[in-house]
Amino acid sequence: MSVLEFQKVSKLYNNVTQALTEVSFRVDEGEIVSVIGPSGSGKSTVLRCINRLVDVTQGSILFDGRDITRVGKKEIRQLRKKIGMIFQHYNLVNRLSVIENVLHGRLGHKSALSGAAGYFTEQEKENAFCLLERLGLTEQAYKRCDELSGGQKQRVGIARSLMQEPRLILCDEPIASLDPSSSKVIMDYLSDINKTMKITCIFNLHQVDVAMKYSGRIIGLTSGRIVFDGPPDRLSKAKIHEIYQSNEGELITDVG
């Protein structure tokens, strides 16, 4: 069953920069898909089009069969409840505690008044603590987020996104700011979440070897166009060089 489908999507920034050109692909429920490519290839634009942080110039994006490029502001808020987002730089409120940041994943389900008041049900609090336990963060629950390591902060970001009860999680360079050891921990958690919670995941990654290890499918972008779409075992060195327009020694590897 298809969760997401791009239909000839193009994106032009400021009537000058062509970020995407007639990009078409579909993602089935439960898949892990990694989007790879050099800087400026359009990887981040793909993710931002999905959650409507940017609007497409042409084409359609179907989420659960609905064209999300045509929905209004109220519908966008409803859409974002179903789409979790994990950021390279975490996007946490550093002065707040870990548990408070995780509970913020429920704000999209609250009225403006309840959200501003910080009201959360006992069930929501219980769910938040269960997620912290799952992600190995129970002992950090009441620490301020600015006291955490980068890897711990990213796990808080994962827990926050799971509080939304999403159908789809978008991961925008989730390990780019982490050392190799922390990167492996994060990717292992995300892989486990995909398998056990059946949540579809789309990664935007620079690290080719990470994409090959953790993804069931890889999409390679070059200059805003798809030049590869298939399983990792079909991603040859020659195709990697075509995607990155580089020599073999320039390929990025971060996780063992």
Confidence of residue 1 (pLDDT cuts 50, 70, 90): confident
* Residue 253 predicted with pLDDT over 90: no
Tens of pLDDT, residue by residue over 94-103, are 999 999 999 9
Residues 159, 175 share a domain: no
Residues 223, 150 share a domain: no
* Residue 252 predicted with pLDDT over 70: no
Tens of pLDDT, residue by residue over 234-249, are 999 999 999 998 644 3
Mark which of 165, 190, 214 sits at the end of a domain.
165
* Residue 8 predicted with pLDDT over 50: yes
Mark which of 165, 193, 227 sits at the end of a domain.
165
- What pLDDT score was predicted for residue 248? 43
- What pLDDT score was predicted for residue 35? 97
Residues 244, 185 share a domain: yes
**CA 38 and chain centroid, separation:** 17
- What pLDDT score was predicted for residue 117? 61
Residue 133: inside a domain, yes or no? yes
How many structural domains compose the chain?
Answer: 2
Quote the CA–CA distance of 34 and 218 in Å, as a whole number: 5
* Residue 82 predicted with pLDDT over 90: yes
Residue 87: inside a domain, yes or no? no
Residue 9: inside a domain, yes or no? yes
Among candidates 13, 22, 15, 93, which has minimal Cα distance to 48? 13
- What pLDDT score was predicted for residue 243? 93
Residue 24: inside a domain, yes or no? yes
Mark which of 146, 165, 184 sits at the end of a domain.
165
Tens of pLDDT, residue by residue over 41-57, are 999 999 999 999 999 99
Q: Which domain holds residue 130?
A: 93-165
Which domain CATH number covers 40?
Answer: 3.40.50.300
Burial 63-83 (b: 16+ CB within 10 A, else e): beeeebbeeeeeeeeebbbbb
HSE, side-chain direction, 13 A CA sphere, residue 144: 5
DSSP 178-195: S-HHHHHHHHHHHHHHHH
Q: Which residue has the tokens 């209004």?
A: 72
Strand ranges (DSSP E) for 139-240? Answer: 168-172, 200-205, 217-222, 225-230
Quote the CA–CA distance of 154 and 231 in Å, as a whole number: 27
Tens of pLDDT, residue by residue over 146-157, are 999 999 999 999
